[in-house]
Structure 1
Amino acid sequence: MIDPFEDTAPSGVELTAYDRVHVKLYMRLLDAAGDGADWREAVQVLFGIDPECEPERARHVHDSHLARARWMTHSGYRHLLRGSPN
């Protein structure tokens, strides 16, 4: 299981402490999406949420974090390279 997570990933334009802690999770989500994994399986494995019991929450958590992971690949990684203190 990953470090504790929020139901909604950050959405701002700055890298956050939350992002830094969850970089590995973001990469695993991107790998799963790239491999065509079913989002329900990914959310169960990566977040420990049963999508049958909590379908709306499971979908929101997955989509929110996957969107942030995609942001990291397009913009957020620059903050990591610069060593941004956030």
Structure 2
Amino acid sequence: MPKPPLDPDVADAVPSDSFVTLYDQQHVVTYMRLLQAEGEGADWRDVVRIVLHIDPEADPDRARNAYQSHLVRAKWMTEQGRLLRGAGSN
């Protein structure tokens, strides 16, 4: 698998598939950054601005929904062991 981009554009919501998607593979770094920020207790508004490139002041609903869906997917990737092994692993 090629290296994932460091700072890719994000969708408003992540895939809900029960398998690792191309979107997941492209956003491994995004997921890791979200998990790290949560672990450090960062304010979600700062995280969404920096990591997801969404202005939480201009579009609070979109920002909150994108943040939550990406964080849930990041946790799913970790719980499934896919984030730690690599997004392309089975």
Same fold, TM-score > 0.5, yes or no: yes
Q: How far is 1:56 from its partner?
A: 0.2
Q: How far is 1:80 from its partner?
A: 3.2
Map of 2:62 onto structure 1: 57
Amino acid at match of 2:43: D
For the residue of structure 2 that corresponds to 1:80, the secondary structure is: coil
Instruction: State, as a whole percentage, how many aligned pairs show the same letter.
Output: 48
Structure 2 portions without partners, runs of 5+: 1-5
Decide which of 16, 26, 44 is 2:49's aligned counterpart.
Answer: 44
Q: How far is 1:4 from its partner?
A: 2.1
Q: Report 1 or 2 for greater relative contact order, CA contacts < 8 Å, sequence distance ≥ 6.
A: 1
C-alpha RMSD over aligned residues: 1.7
Query: CA separation of 1:51/1:41 partners in 2, compared to 1, >3 Å: closer, same or farther?
Result: same
Structure 1 portions without partners, runs of 5+: none
Q: TM-score, normalised by structure 1?
A: 0.87
